[in-house]
Amino acid sequence: MTTLSRRGFLQTAVASGAVLTLGFTPRGALAQAAQTQQLTPFLKVAGDGTVTAIVKHLEGGQGAATGLSTLIAEELNMQLTDIRFEMAPANAAVYNNLLFGPVQATGGSTAMANSFMQYRTAGAAAREMLIAAAAQQWSVAPESLALKEGIISGDGKSVSIGELVGDAAKMDVPAEPTLKDPSEWTQIGNPQRARRDSSDKINGQAMFSMDVHLDGMLVVAIKRTPRMGGVVISFDDSAAKDINGFDHAATLPNGAGVAVYARNTWAAFQARDALSVEWDFSKAEARGSDEILADLRMQLDGEPDYNVNNADQAAVAATIDGAATTLSQEFYFPLLAHSPMEPINATIEPLENGGVRYHDGAQGPTANQMVAAQILEISPEQVEVKSLYAGGFFGRRLNGGSDYLVELTMAYALTDRTRPVKLVWSREDDVTGGWYRPMALHRVRVGLDDAGKIIGWEHHVATPSIFKGSPFEEAMVRDGVDSSSIEGIADGPYTIPGMALMLSDAKKATTVNWWRSVGHSHTAYVMEVMMDLAAEASGIDPVEFRLNHLDQNSDDGSRAAQVLKLAAEKAGWAQQGDGRSLGVAVHKSFNTYIAEVCEISTPDDTIRIDKVTAAVDCGIAVNPDVIKAQVEGAIGWGMGHAMRGEITLDKGEIVQSNFPDYEPLRIADIGAIDVHIVPSALPPSGIGEPGTPPAAPALANAIARATGQRITELPMISSTDFYL
């Protein structure tokens, strides 16, 4: 992980009207692409003293708005509860994700990790400028003044920062403002429940992009090819014409669907249902899930495409063959849809200057700009993005094909471009609409010595690549290996000698995408169930077995060991029995270490999840309660999909269509979740995703403890009954 330097973050400041706007251009190794020294606001101070944080990351529930606001509030010595926030406009030159290069985007659990220094520095600079303005006004030394709760005081006087806005804006921006010492923090690390987006979401006022209504807009629903690769030959909209509110229909230029335009959402859906389309399926996917699985298995039977870690495969195989104990296991993971609560949608409107404005829960505003520039033949600078709340995203609102943005923009391009166009997906569109977590098949052989030490680990994964063919290929694919296909196997915290990691790229049957925790969503399951099997084969307690393979003299090993021990202690690991069965898993992802212990019971020979205990090391815990909430949610995400989530194909078509057959986690599924945070002074790492990877294997290991059944094919309901 590259370190963040605050040197060079501060370039200059601008004043606009009565609002002091501080702008910084990130430079240095993490943001070399930010060549333009463009002014960019991270916070505003209004004439009435109101402070507004400008949040560069999408708020989709993960708490980015609260987190970034906390950093500003801390450095301005104000309460988090007193700060407001608004979403940043599209401008990758300054609002880029410092870990992604020249791209403004949210993902990879990086919102806090990349913003921690940047936003603190912004807040500190504003504090120093405001104090300097007061010092100048009163002709006193700035050191004699202090800022607290929006008031600067000292020398027997006090003034609201709102009154200093004009003068402060004329100050030079301090090159390296003094950040508060962590010992002085009152907001960072504060366990308060103070989400900045809470009240709007409780009273129905929060604006999601689904809630956008613009005068004269057309609502579009799209009839998409039911099989990847299908192309429209023709359509008949004569029945649609009977739907009141139907406007017209048009084939998308890429042939992947027909856009149905209407006066409102219901009319668009009704008219779309009434449309009949003739498809050319000659180049379309035709396999069913069983055939796709057979293809994956054939790949594992053959030579791997890539020797990921350049291991001596023959030597590793020989070690395992000669081991005291050899374990061999295959694992299967189905396609999974993200299905955020808010079905996919976005709106585009023409601007008088010839540009366009998107209203979008934009995970990657830079993608909006690129898509519009390409399809509408305008410059990216002519593309505005009004970022709204996303009703969950889990990765779904950005992908290598910018799917819904391309659809929306093509649908708009087909009109006379004088009216706004809003694209709305139904839940059926979402469940059948592709960009799934890829299917994966793993085959693993592990060799153990007499003492229960792993001496060889052979691991072959067959899965389609997420990144190949996407705009992110160059960043994520090395020597042919898509890191997202195998992350979490050889780069985990365990010390495993003699590992041979192999990868084969499978042929896609659907579009695939990152899905909360990406590759870790399947690799952690394999690693942690195999560790459990190995512990069992060695006759060693699963926690002890794992600790035996964590080098506590290494950073990775010690942090993993610490969360493992803490979770085990808090869960009462030593007191199993009496109908309580506990399973454990620990995993590192997005530079965060999480161990989870799942406690189950077996009423009526079913599995009931009574409690999950988690221990988290994500570096400095900026908002401990948000971190707890993210881990609670990520556990639900991991377990829910492992229990029941599965997208399957029949002759190339998706079988599932909506929540009744893509059944989500519900309230009764998990009894209680107890999250513990390890104190840390290290820079913050990811938290939106890392709670997911250990969840499913912890459940699987608990089930094995209770029933002896090792579940190696997901979803679990194929072989297990859950308590209802």
Task: Name the residues that contact another protein, by CB under 8 A.
Answer: 60-63, 193-195, 197-208, 210-211, 213, 244-245, 264-267, 269, 339-343, 389-394, 426-428, 625-626, 629-630, 632-637, 640, 658-660, 664-670, 672-673
CB of 341 to another protein, least distance (A): 4
Contact 331, 713 (CB under 8 A): yes
Quick one: 210 or 454, whose CB is closer to another protein? 210
**DSSP count for the chain of H helices, then E strands:** 18, 30
Quick one: 197 or 617, whose CB is closer to another protein? 197
Contact 386, 359 (CB under 8 A): yes
Pairing of strands 218-224, 421-424: parallel
Q: What is the DSSP string of 674-713?
A: EEEE----SPP---SSTTSTTHHHHHHHHHHHHHS----B
Between CA 46 and CA 33 the distance in angstroms is 32
CB of 205 to another protein, least distance (A): 7
Angle value at C-alpha 394, between 391 and 395, nearest 5 degrees: 115
Longest dimension (CA), the chain: 83
Quick one: 142 or 343, whose CB is closer to another protein? 343
CB of 693 to another protein, least distance (A): 15
Quick one: 211 or 556, whose CB is closer to another protein? 211
What sign does the dihedral 482-486-487-491 (CA atoms) show?
Answer: negative
CB of 424 to another protein, least distance (A): 8
Between CA 608 and CA 599 the distance in angstroms is 9
Quick one: 187 or 630, whose CB is closer to another protein? 630
Between CA 14 and CA 611 the distance in angstroms is 52
Burial of 577 (0-12, 13-18, 19+ CB in 10 A): exposed
Quick one: 177 or 392, whose CB is closer to another protein? 392
Burial of 314 (0-12, 13-18, 19+ CB in 10 A): exposed
Picking from 225, 223, 227, the residue whose alpha carbon sits closest to that of residue 292 is 227
CB of 616 to another protein, least distance (A): 16
CB of 470 to another protein, least distance (A): 25
Through-space distance between the first and last CA atoms of the chain, rounded to whole angstroms: 44
CB of 697 to another protein, least distance (A): 18
Angle value at C-alpha 246, between 245 and 249, nearest 5 degrees: 160
CB of 667 to another protein, least distance (A): 4
H or E stretch including 535?
helix 520-538
Q: From edge to edge, which strands make up the β-sheet containing 421-424? A: 246-251, 257-262, 218-224, 421-424, 345-350, 356-360, 383-387
Quick one: 622 or 626, whose CB is closer to another protein? 626
**What are the angstrom distances between the C-alpha of 164 and each of 15, 47, 145, 178?**
12, 8, 14, 20
Quick one: 359 or 508, whose CB is closer to another protein? 359
CB of 75 to another protein, least distance (A): 23
Contact 236, 292 (CB under 8 A): no
Quick one: 46 or 214, whose CB is closer to another protein? 214
CB of 660 to another protein, least distance (A): 5
Cis amide leading into 191 (omega within 30) = no
Q: One-letter amino acid identity for 297?
A: R
- DSSP H helical segments within 351-470, as ranges? 365-376, 403-413, 427-432
CB of 211 to another protein, least distance (A): 4
Quick one: 153 or 658, whose CB is closer to another protein? 658
CB of 265 to another protein, least distance (A): 6
Alpha-carbon torsion angle 487, 491, 496, 497, nearest 10:
110
Quick one: 201 or 580, whose CB is closer to another protein? 201
Quick one: 77 or 630, whose CB is closer to another protein? 630
CB of 297 to another protein, least distance (A): 32
Quick one: 583 or 636, whose CB is closer to another protein? 636
Count the Cβ atoms, other than its own, within 10 Å of residue 84. 14
Burial of 361 (0-12, 13-18, 19+ CB in 10 A): buried
Quick one: 229 or 624, whose CB is closer to another protein? 624
CB of 199 to another protein, least distance (A): 6
Alpha-carbon torsion angle 682, 684, 687, 690, nearest 10:
-40
For 159-170, letters b (16+ CB in 10 Å) and e give: bebbbbbebbbe
CB of 105 to another protein, least distance (A): 18
Count the Cβ atoms, other than its own, within 10 Å of residue 363. 23
Quick one: 519 or 636, whose CB is closer to another protein? 636
For residue 414, give both structure tokens: 């087909």
